[in-house]
Amino acid sequence: MTYQLTAEYKNCSVWELDFDLNAVHDWFIKWDTLHVKFKAADKNYVEIHTDFSGSDDHESYKFPIHTSITQISPKKTKRMKKKI
């Protein structure tokens, strides 16, 4: 048989902001950087880096928060005999 092992890890990034993110025109996060457009008339987004980056936290990858084993399919091997 063939099995699949899945390990899930959790990490997070944190930004401490001195403004209300709900009040800005637009924002998105890409590659652990917060991009903020404060007003619709602004041409560019302001890039705000994290105070604590989840991607730099290699500690969170030491132990998974959840694991699961799933049987994918029965697999014939050379050692298996054919049933007649």
The answer to whether residue 50 scores a pLDDT higher than 90 is: no
Question: Which is more confident, 61 or 41?
Answer: 41
Q: Give the domain ranges of the chain.
A: 2-73
Q: What is the pLDDT of residue 47?
A: 94
* pLDDT per residue as tens digits for the range 2-27: 878 877 777 777 888 888 888 899 99
Contact 47, 35 (CB under 8 A): yes
Q: 66's torsion region: left (phi>0), alpha (psi -120 to 50) or beta?
A: beta
Global pTM value: 0.58
Question: Which is more confident, 60 or 38?
Answer: 38
